Structures are given as structure tokens and as C-alpha cells.
Structure 1
Amino acid sequence: MTTTATSRTAPPTTATDAADPSAATGTPSPSWPEHPTTAEGWLERAQEVSDLLALDAVERDRANESPFQEVALLKAAGLVTLLGPPEFGGGGQTWETAYTVVRTIARGDGSIGQLLGYHYLWFWTAELVGTDEQRAAFARSATEGTWLIGGAVNPRDDDLTVADEGDELVFNGRKSFSTGGVVSDVTILEGVLQGTDDHVFTAVPTDQEGIVFAGDWDNLGQRLTESGSVRITDVRAPWSDALGYVDKTFHGSVYATLNVPAIQLVFANFYLGIAEGALERATAYTREKTRPWPFGGDDKDSADQEWYILEGYGRLQSTLWADASLIDRTGAAISEILHAPREQLTERRRGEIAVQVAASKLRIVEDGLEVTSRIFELTGARASANSVGLDIYWRNLRTHSLHDPLPYKKREVGEYALAGRVPEPTWYT
């Protein structure tokens, strides 16, 4: 592909530059001279980044500023190129590892976990839709350029219009959501070719006059995801960058429809990370600050001896362990087919994976909302202080879990359980 992108002016590109105590992480970043060589090493790296992000996640959420420094930290740690080919400087890891990395980052900061998870999906767009030549070119450019990739692809809005002007395509329109926004280096655009029903995906540099972000993302949670609206005006891309097109004709496959279950499992993983982060923060608070109840007739010396607190945390922890097991199993299954030859995937197998993803998502949404709410009962009244910041977890999970109605996920699983039917590919299944 011919897409090129330059870094925006604000973000630094090394761990040393990212170590601004007044900005993203509150403490100096560690120096990472080289990439890990194993999945375990990458997960350790992700945990280090997550720990840094957790230090002032609440303060940064309240400030609600564009996360340039946070993205610089992801780049410095090598996490944005986790899926990239090693020969171009990438981590060469699988989607199974990428999902766990997203979850780990979300424990420290749900917004940054979402940014990274969406980036992984957009990084894989050429793999899903592109020709062999486009796949290789995009992987090299994105990896060598350490791009952070965003996307103006919101199916609930009208599609962008795409005009054919000889050797170029011209995109116009508006999207009410566009995760990645001004902190991205490249934006994935999707629209419908005028006069046809054909959809076109391409990648363009974010920093150009024709892409204008409104800066209007001011929601309850996930406040640092740059998910506001965007106006696309006369943005041009060569036909050679239209993913999957040869001589202006699209050549697709069932594999191309994995974009939806792949991103839906990204959701499940950063939901789980948010819930795990809430439980970790709550148990620490209980150990350090929660006082035992002195009027129960069976007084305890400390809160960690209270039977109802022990019972409560036992229930929440066992629930999240069960959810993690389901989500990990689903991640291993979809990772296998994402890395297998594209022509091997059948419609039936794709549908079965989509059902597993739906089951994973519905479980962690319901269980995660319970965890992020019930922790207040186990930490006590003083834990509701804004300075403690336990509210961030519920706000983050509640906000993004409204992405698409959960009852439809339950219906997908129910139809499979009762009749063996798998969902037809749509923008949400």
C-alpha cells in the first residue's frame, strides 16, 4: 500500500520522552531496549505498562485530555506492533496474546485498553480484507512506522460516500463515533461506492485537512478513547489502496467477516480487564482502610475477617475466574482461525466462533457490572469519595457495554442452543 503517515506533533516516541511526571503516567517510564521474544515476556511488558497507567488513571480520566502521552507509552513499550512481523520490528505474536495484552492494559486504564484493542483490529484490517500484496505492504508500513491506528467505521451511521475519480477514490461524510481520533497516525475509512452496494475499506493518514475531529466525546466513561465524531471531506486514496479490490472489483471471502467477532472479543477482554482492575483496587482498599462493623454482635478486629466481606469477595473473584476461562477459550479458538489460511474458514465455523464470542461478551458484561457495583458494599461508605475513584470502573464498563444491545447476544446463543443455528454475518454479529 502507498499509505504514509507521520507522527502527530504532540506525542514523543521513546519511553524516556514519555516519562513526563505531569502527564500520562505520574512516574518515569522504564527503559525498554528491545522487544520480548515470548508471549510471556510480552504479558510481563503489558503488566509494567498497566501498572504505570494505574498510578493516575483517575486523575487523567477527570482531566479528560487527549491521551498523546499514553499512546507514546504504548509505542515505547512496543505494544502497538505486537502483531507485526518480526522482520519489520514487530512482536510476531498471535491474537491470543493480543487479547490478553488488551485485558492487562485495561486493568490499569480501561480507556487505553480500548484504544489498543481497536488498534489491533484495525492493524489486522488488511489481513482480513486485503489482497496478498496489500496485506504484506500494510503490515510492513504499520510495523515500521509504529502506527497507532484509529477507525471512522460506525455502522449505525450512514455510510461514507465513495466517489470513483479515475485512479482515485474520494470519501465524504460524517461519523458520530471514531475511536482513536487525534492521537492516531492512520485512520481506517469505510464507505459505499456510489452507484453500487459495494463497501470499500482503506487506510489514510489521520493528519490531513479533510479529516476534522469535533472533540465532542464527553461521555460517562471511557473518556480517553478519542471516540467523538468526525467529518470526512474530500479525502482521497488511490484505488490501489482499496482493500481487497483488483481492477476495481472486490475479491472477498468468509474470512473477511471475522472483523466483527474479532472486535467483539476485544470488547470482552477490556471489559474483563476493567472488572479485574476494580476487584484488585477494591481488595487493596478493604485491606488498608475498610473498618469492621461494630454493631453486628460478632465483632471482628479487621474488615478482612468479616464473614460477609469474605463471602462477597469470594463470589466476585470466582465469577471473574470463570469469565476469564470462557474468554480465554474463545480467544484461543478465534486466534487459531485468524492465523490459519483464509481459504480454510467455512461459514459454519465462522458462525460457531461468533456464538462463542457472544456468550463471552454477555457473561462479562453482566458479571462485570455486578463486580464494579458491589465493590462499594465491600469497601464501605468512605470508599465512595471522589478521591478514591472506584467509580471509574463502573463508568467505563457501563459506557462501552452499551455499544450494542446485550439481549441480541443472548438471542444468538439461544438460537444456537435450541436449533443449532449460527448468526448471519452483519456489522454486529
Structure 2
Amino acid sequence: MSIAAPADWKTLPGPTDPEGWIKRATEVAAVLAVDAAARDRAGATPHEEIRLLKDSGLVTLLGPAEHGGGGQKWPTAYKVVREVAKADGSIGQLLGYHYLWNWAARLVGTREQWEQVEAAAARDRWFFGGAVNPRDDDVVVRDEGDTLVFSGHKSFSTGSKVSDVTVLEGVLDGTDKHVFAIVPSDSPGLTFNDDWDNIGQRLTESGSVTLDGVRTPWAGAAGYVDKEFRPRVYNTLNVPIIQLVFVNFYLGIAAGALETAAAYTRTRSRAWLHGGYEKATDEPYVIDAYGDLTAKLWAAEALADRVAEEGQPLHDDPDAVTPADRGRFEVRVAAAKAISTEVALEVTSRIFEVTGARATATGQGLDRFWRNVRTHTLHDPVAYKRREVGRYVLTGDLPEPTWYS
């Protein structure tokens, strides 16, 4: 399968405003949509898809403009993820995770560190992966003078073989201190095990990774100065940021499912023989279902956009973020996560009610939307997101920062 980017992406200046970047994402989605179902069935490593993201400039969206980046803010990045996910949920996830890991140096590191990383990433169009599964605590980091050595195993490493660089995380030997570092994905000792074989998000390269003495300079340990970590409240925004990424590719997948189903209903679905209507589009229950699902999706999208705008001031002045600011944002993200999960699962399962039995044919690929949402929404239990919101409403308690809250 071949994926071709429009030639003018390489010869013309890139977008300069949010609207232009969202339009570019829509163009990328149109390319991906052509053979999305076939690529999902093939499950091949998405090298060409990532090349498409690079050629389009989407990988540099959050990068500094002076180094060739898009110079955009997080609300635009979330919308871009949503647009790409409409066509291909796996590539939407990869892009969203890339944005977080590209941002990780700024999130956790010192100013000198993140300025260096962001300049290089924008200039060379790096694609980021991450081996930071917090439920695996078996990566140990040894201090060898000026060098850190990572050894162990992570169950998941999204982006693995298609990434240029990988964010590693482990615990400093003999302490409870976590260390993040960015290393080239072809570093000696870093082995991606190619064992991702799940029902959905098949192209995310999310299999396990083995770290066998992966070496990196102490200077690359994010946020450490003279081997001591300098904490900020802003460091803890990784969870609400990535959860809002989840929200947006869930909603993108749902929107793609609804658009694909509607096209099928308009062109191929047949009216029920006992209903008295000539066309499926005249069936009252079909009309009602599309209205119901669309209203729910639009409402969830509106909440996601509102929460993204509420969070942007935290990025605009990272040193001023307080625990209360962070906690309130996390509660709002939790609400969006709960609603987006519910809506995406409902949309992607109910589309079959309004497309008909023939729409279940493998070649149609409508099942991929549900499989993708069902797979990733199990990342962490949505009940715990509702609990964060409920506790805040009843007691005013804000969630304490953890790997999942």
C-alpha cells in the first residue's frame, strides 16, 4: 500500500494559524481515509503514515516557529488529533502521543533542556515514541558518573519502530526517584519486541520494549540539575494532557464512524420491506438515531474544546501553576474523558443499527471504529474519572497527582 502526500506540502509555506493547521489535518485525514480499512486489516508498521505526518508538517505543530515549527498551542493540537483520528484512529493516537512526548521536555525539564529538544525536534521533524507505562516498575536506572544506564522491561511502548526518539522512564537505583530521558530509538540496548497484537489500534506500534543497558548522559535527565530533581506543579500536568489527547482521538474515531455510516446509509442501505418507505434515509428510526448520536457527539466535542481552552493558561505561564489550578483542570478533563468514552462507544456500536446487515462485511471495515475505541478506552477505568468529578462536586476534594489522575 502506498500513501502519497500532495507535492505542494514540500514546496509551499506551511500553515500559520490554527485554521490553516486544522485544514492541513483534514487534508491528511483525506489521504489516510482512502485505504484505512485495508491498512487496518494488514496491520503493518505505519512507516508511510508517519512520513505523511512529517511531510504535512503536523509533527512540528507545537514546535517553535523560529526553528521551523508550527508555533501553535494545545487547543489546536487537540483538534488536529481529532481530525486525523476521523480517518485512522491508530494514526490519531500516534500523533497525540507524539505531541505529549515532544512536550515532555518542557513539562518536566529545565529551560535549557526543553529549548534544545524543541529546537532539534522542529528542525529535524523528529517523531516521538514513549516507553513510560507507569504500571511497570521494573526499569532500573543506574548512576555511572556522568552517565545513566536504563535496564528492564516495559509492557507498552507506543510509537516504537516508527519513532526517531523515545522517552524512557525508570527509577534511580536505590531511590524512589523517577528519571525521564529522551534517547534515539536506535540506541544500543533498546529493543522493540513487535508483540502488539490487539483487536484495535492495530497500527500504534504499542508493543513491549526491552532495555538492556541503554546509556544516556546525566545532562539529559529531564528536570535534574547536579543530579537533583527540581519539581514544579507543572510537572504533574502529564496526566490531564494525555487524557485530553485520549478524549480527542476517541471523539475523532466516533465522528469518523458516524460520517462513514451516514455515507453508507445514503448510498447502500435499504429501507425495511415492511416499513412503507422507499429509502433508508426516510425511515423515522434511522433519522432519529442519527440525530441522537450526532447531538451527543457535538455536545462532547464542545466540552472537549472548552476544557482545552481552560487548560491553555496553565501552559502560558507554567511557573505560576498552583495545585488548585492543576486539580480543577484535572477534574474538568476527567469529566470530558467520561463523556467521550460513553459517546464514542455508543456511536461506534450503534452505527450498525442504521446501516444494516450488509454493512458488517469485512470489506466495509465499519467494525474498526468500535474495535479502536473499545481497545483504548480500557487504558484506565473510566469509573475512576467519574469518581474524581463526583468527589469534587460533593466535597470539593481535588484529585492528588498520580500516574492516572
* TM-score normalised by L of structure 1: 0.93
Counterpart among 296, 307, 318 of residue 295 in structure 2: 318
Q: Which residue of 1 aligns with 2:395?
A: 419
Shift of 1:336: 2.3
Counterpart among 139, 148, 157 of residue 136 in structure 2: 157
Q: Distance in 2 between matches of 1:405 and 1:70?
A: 30
Shift of 1:30: 4.4
Shift of 1:294: 1.7
Matched, 1:362 2:341: no
Shift of 1:157: 1.1
Counterpart among 283, 287, 306 of residue 283 in structure 2: 306
Matches within 5 A, 1:22-421: 22-23=1-2, 25=3, 29-32=6-9, 33-296=12-275, 299-338=276-315, 340-421=316-397
Q: Distance in 2 between matches of 1:113 and 1:30?
A: 22
Contact 2:388–2:399 (8 Å) recurs in 1:
yes
Q: Distance in 1 between matches of 2:171 and 2:377?
A: 28
Shift of 1:31: 2.6
Shift of 1:128: 0.7
Q: What is the number of equivalent residue pairs in this alignment?
A: 403
Q: Distance in 2 between matches of 1:28 and 1:402?
A: 33
Higher helix share: 2
Q: What is the DSSP-based 3-state SS (H/G/I as helix, E as strand, rest coil) of the residue aligned with 1:332?
A: helix
Q: Structure 1 counterpart of 2:382, which letter?
A: L
Judged with a 3 Å threshold, the aligned counterparts in structure 2 of structure 1 residues 28 and 205 are, in CA distance, closer, same or farther, namely closer
Point out 4+ residue stretches in structure 1 off by more than 3 angstroms. Answer: 27-30
Shift of 1:209: 2.7
Gaps of 5+ in 2: none
Q: Which residue of 2 aligns with 1:4?
A: none
Q: Structure 1 counterpart of 2:160, which letter?
A: G
Gaps of 5+ in 1: 1-21
Q: Which residue of 2 aligns with 1:15?
A: none
Spell out, residue by residue over 1:360-415, the C-alpha distance to the aligned partner (whole angstroms, 9 max, x if none): 01101111111001000000111111111100000000000000011111111100
Q: Structure 2 counterpart of 1:237, which letter?
A: T
Contact 1:29–1:52 (8 Å) recurs in 2:
no
Contact 2:180–2:222 (8 Å) recurs in 1:
yes
Spell out, residue by residue over 1:145-167, the C-alpha distance to the aligned partner (whole angstroms, 9 max, x if none): 10000000001112410000000
Contact 2:139–2:152 (8 Å) recurs in 1:
yes
Contact 2:5–2:52 (8 Å) recurs in 1:
no
Q: Distance in 2 between matches of 1:141 and 1:237?
A: 17
Shift of 1:29: 3.5
Q: What is the DSSP-based 3-state SS (H/G/I as helix, E as strand, rest coil) of the residue aligned with 1:387?
A: helix
Q: What is the DSSP-based 3-state SS (H/G/I as helix, E as strand, rest coil) of the residue aligned with 2:364?
A: coil
Shift of 1:28: 5.7
* TM-score normalised by L of structure 2: 0.98
Q: Distance in 1 between matches of 2:187 and 2:388?
A: 41
Q: Distance in 2 between matches of 1:29 and 1:58?
A: 21
Q: What is the DSSP-based 3-state SS (H/G/I as helix, E as strand, rest coil) of the residue aligned with 1:124?
A: helix
Q: Distance in 2 between matches of 1:419 and 1:174?
A: 40
Q: What is the DSSP-based 3-state SS (H/G/I as helix, E as strand, rest coil) of the residue aligned with 2:335?
A: helix
CA RMSD of aligned residues (A): 0.9
Contact 1:159–1:190 (8 Å) recurs in 2:
no
Shift of 1:208: 2.4
Spell out, residue by residue over 1:293-323, the C-alpha distance to the aligned partner (whole angstroms, 9 max, x if none): 1213xx1121111100000000000000000
Spell out, residue by residue over 1:225-246, the C-alpha distance to the aligned partner (whole angstroms, 9 max, x if none): 0000000111111111111111
Q: Distance in 2 between matches of 1:377 and 1:109?
A: 22
Identity %: 58
Q: Distance in 2 between matches of 1:341 and 1:36?
A: 25
Q: Structure 1 counterpart of 2:80, which letter?
A: V
Q: Distance in 2 between matches of 1:106 and 1:199?
A: 32
Q: Distance in 1 between matches of 2:150 and 2:5?
A: 42
Spell out, residue by residue over 1:150-204, the C-alpha distance to the aligned partner (whole angstroms, 9 max, x if none): 0000011124100000000000010010000110000000111111111111100
